[in-house]
Amino acid sequence: MSALTDLSLAKMQSGLAAGEFSARELVSAHVSAVEAARPLNAFLVETPDHALAAADAADAALKAGTAGPLAGIPLGIKDLFCTKGVETTAASKILQGFKPRYDSTVTEKLFAAGAAMLGKLNLDEFAMGSSNETSAYGPVISPWRADGSSENLVPGGSSGGSSAAVSARLCAAATGTDTGGSIRQPAAFTGIAGIKPTYGRCSRWGVIAFASSLDQPGAMARDVRDCAIMLEAMSGYDPKDSTSINAPVPQWAAALNGSLKGKRIGIPREYRVEGMDPQLEALWQQGIDWAKDAGAEIVEVSLPHTREALPTYYIVAPAEASSNLARYDGVRYGQRVTPPGGSLNDMYEATRGAGFGGEVKRRIMIGTYVLSAGYYDAYYLKAQKVRALIAQDFERAWESCDLLLTPTAPTAAFGLGAKSADPIAMYLNDVFTVPASLAGLPAMSIPAGLDSQGLPLGLQIIGKPLDEQGVLDAGHALECRAGFTAAPQHWW
């Protein structure tokens, strides 16, 4: 592994600025790493030409003193972000061959800042999954393995390509999207940091929709500072997204502060679930101690509707998805299957039957069901009411604390195929991440330690609306004390 791929994003920036290496050298090293890591199946499309062209432009800009903040930084882009002229499929067969004529607002911002795109990252189909096993183009294999084992593990999901690529040092950072935990859980599974900002911080324009009221782009990188740098470049008001927040983007990275003096950190009682892995419980306690050490006051808080969050999520998200995915009908783009002599309805059935995978179909059916006449009140409407109660829980908690500290996921990464037959077990992965999604709050996962098998575990920090700074600061404080330096062994 070349040393250039080990650098943090911040170190890459300073190295480029100091002329220690060129953007071309930096990007080339990553292009090679991407090629060498094909067994991980992290990339659906490799775009070395895009990356190298951006690198050359960055070198010229660095020389001319006109370089953007991400000039020459090699990134991976989750394949949920539309990229102009580059195939974008959301890991679905139904969009096979689809090349958008437009860039998402987020990728446009990243490219304008000088970033080099190495390629499009694998994910669960339409971001529906927690293990990256629902991709129509095969699962992503985590670069991590348990001590002394050669069993393939999942990288988490749905941003599994992003988590695998960042932790395997294939890119400096990656974009992710988080609907119910799709940034935080894979970050925890692969020993990296990942932040989902406040709903509305990053534009959803050009991001293929899963569940509109929950979807939020975010950043994944190997440490908190890199996440801050990345998120800054991705965020900002976008008049093309009516749900985007019209607020200035703070300079999170420059203001990053590891002291928690004067901060009150809440520990939600209801997150202490029965049968919790003692190692996870110990790590959580460790996190509490680190927070105290950083000057925080620890308070116990209650989020009484936590138990209802997961069922609420699995009504709201599929409901929106069932409608959002109606546009994949074979009429205008993507795959079309026309049975001979068939009607329009036959075309829809054949196209969608062949184009969508099992998990996507399951969620479309659940979503269609909960919105149906006669069931709407009992499911969708009830779920919306509970969602409001969950948001209220957090508002009450903010009366006694500034941030919340919880585990990110109930377990470490599991084996490929271990849960794919049991959707409920799979959905339980999101139990700690879903409440913040339902409330639209900023939340991040930081790598906090390894379990007895040598697999990463993450801690989650949840903040008040628009307080990404508080979340990042707390993440930074914990990360400094955790001293997490573990990296996957290069086996691929």
Partner 1 sequence: MTTPYTDGPAGTYTIEGQTGPWELVIGLEVHAQVTSNSKLFSGAATEFGAEPNSQVSLVDAAMPGMLPVLNGECVAQAVRTGLALGATINRWSRFDRKNYFYADLPQGYQISQFQHPVVGEGAIEVETDDGQKTTVGIERIHLEQDAGKSIHDLSPTMSYVDLNRSGVALMEIVSKPDIRSPQEAGAYVGQLRSILRAIGTCDGNMQEGSMRADVNVSVRKPGAPFGTRCEIKNVNSIRFIQQAIVSEAKRQVEILESGGQIRQETRLFDPETQETRSLRSKEDAHDYRYFPEPDLLPLELTEEFIAECKASLPELPAAKRARYENELALSPYLAGVLTADAEHARWFETLLADSARRQGKPEIDVAERAANWMTGDLFGALNKLDLDISASPVTPTQGGELLALMADGTLSGPLAKQVFEIMLETRENPGDIAEARGLKQVSDTGALETAIAEVLAANPDKLAEYRSGKDKLFGFFVGQVMKASGGKANPAVVNELLKKALA
Does the footprint of partner 1 cover residue 333 (CB under 8 A)?
Answer: yes
Does the footprint of partner 1 cover residue 115 (CB under 8 A)?
Answer: no
Q: Which is nearer to partner 1, 264 or 336 (CB)?
A: 336
Does the footprint of partner 1 cover residue 469 (CB under 8 A)?
Answer: no
User: For residue 185, with 0-12 CB atoms within 10 Å meaning exposed, 13-18 middle and 19 or more buried, which class applies?
Assistant: buried
- List b or e across 379-390, with b for residues whose CB sees 16 or more CB atoms inside 10 angstroms: bbebbeebbeeb
Least distance in angstroms from the C-beta of 348 to partner 1: 6
Residue linked to tokens 């195939």: 87
Assess contact for 351 and 330: CB atoms under 8 A. Answer: yes
* Binding segment toward partner 1, per CB under 8 A, in 65-73, 182-190, 204-212, 249-257: 204-212
Is residue 104 part of the annotated active site? The answer reads no
CB-facing half-sphere around the CA of 205: CA atoms within 13 A: 20
Is residue 158 part of the annotated active site? The answer reads yes
Give dist(CA 320, CA 159) in Å, integer. Answer: 20
Contacts with 290 (C-beta within 8 Å, 6 or more apart), sequence order? 477, 478, 481, 482
Assess contact for 48 and 118: CB atoms under 8 A. Answer: yes
Q: Which is nearer to partner 1, 74 or 206 (CB)?
A: 206
Does the footprint of partner 1 cover residue 198 (CB under 8 A)?
Answer: no
CA angle 245, 66, 71 (to 5 degrees): 65
Size of the residue set binding partner 1 (CB under 8 A): 44
The one-letter amino acid code at 328 reads: Y
- List b or e across 90-117, with b for residues whose CB sees 16 or more CB atoms inside 10 angstroms: bbbbbbeebebeebbbbbbbbbebbbbb
Q: Using the rule CB under 8 A, which residue among 17, 112, 282, 331 binds partner 1?
A: 331
Q: Segment 66-95, which members bind partner 1 (CB under 8 A)?
A: 81-82, 88, 90, 95
Q: Using the rule CB under 8 A, which residue among 327, 385, 396, 490 binds partner 1?
A: 327
Does the footprint of partner 1 cover residue 38 (CB under 8 A)?
Answer: no
Does the footprint of partner 1 cover residue 356 (CB under 8 A)?
Answer: no
Q: Which is nearer to partner 1, 348 or 398 (CB)?
A: 348
Q: Using the rule CB under 8 A, which residue among 213, 286, 453, 469 binds partner 1?
A: 213
Q: Using the rule CB under 8 A, which residue among 322, 420, 437, 445 binds partner 1?
A: 322
Q: Which is nearer to partner 1, 242 or 452 (CB)?
A: 242
Least distance in angstroms from the C-beta of 111 to partner 1: 16
Catalytic residue of the set 92, 135, 182, 322: 182
Binding string, 94-113, against partner 1, x = CB under 8 A?
-x--x-xxx-x---------
Does the footprint of partner 1 cover residue 319 (CB under 8 A)?
Answer: yes
Q: Using the rule CB under 8 A, which residue among 255, 282, 344, 378 binds partner 1?
A: 344
Read off the tokens for 267. 């520990």
Does the footprint of partner 1 cover residue 320 (CB under 8 A)?
Answer: yes
Least distance in angstroms from the C-beta of 212 to partner 1: 4
Does the footprint of partner 1 cover residue 211 (CB under 8 A)?
Answer: yes
Q: Using the rule CB under 8 A, which residue among 60, 112, 254, 326 binds partner 1?
A: 326
Provide the H-helix boundaries in 335-485.
344-355, 358-371, 382-397, 423-427, 434-439, 468-482
Least distance in angstroms from the C-beta of 335 to partner 1: 13
The three-state secondary structure class of 462 is: strand
Give dist(CA 107, CA 81) in Å, integer. Answer: 7
* Binding segment toward partner 1, per CB under 8 A, in 54-62, 202-210, 419-427, 437-445: 202-210
What's the gap between Cα 163 and its chain centre? 8
Does the footprint of partner 1 cover residue 246 (CB under 8 A)?
Answer: no
Is residue 150 part of the annotated active site? The answer reads no
CB-facing half-sphere around the CA of 261: CA atoms within 13 A: 2
Does the footprint of partner 1 cover residue 204 (CB under 8 A)?
Answer: yes
Does the footprint of partner 1 cover residue 16 (CB under 8 A)?
Answer: no
Contacts with 486 (C-beta within 8 Å, 6 or more apart), sequence order? 191, 447, 450, 454, 456
Least distance in angstroms from the C-beta of 130 to partner 1: 22
Residue linked to tokens 């300073």: 14
What's the gap between Cα 310 and its chain centre? 18
SS (H, E, C) 89-154: CCCCHHHCCCCCCCCCHHHHHHHHCCCEEEEEECCCHHHCCCCCCCCCCCCCCCCCCCCCCCCCEC
Give dist(CA 155, CA 164) in Å, integer. Answer: 6
Binding site for partner 1 (CB under 8 A): 81-82, 88, 90, 95, 98, 100-102, 104, 204-209, 211-213, 239-243, 319-320, 322-323, 325-327, 329, 331-333, 344-345, 348, 368, 371-373, 376, 380
Give the residue numbers marked as catalytic. 78, 158, 182
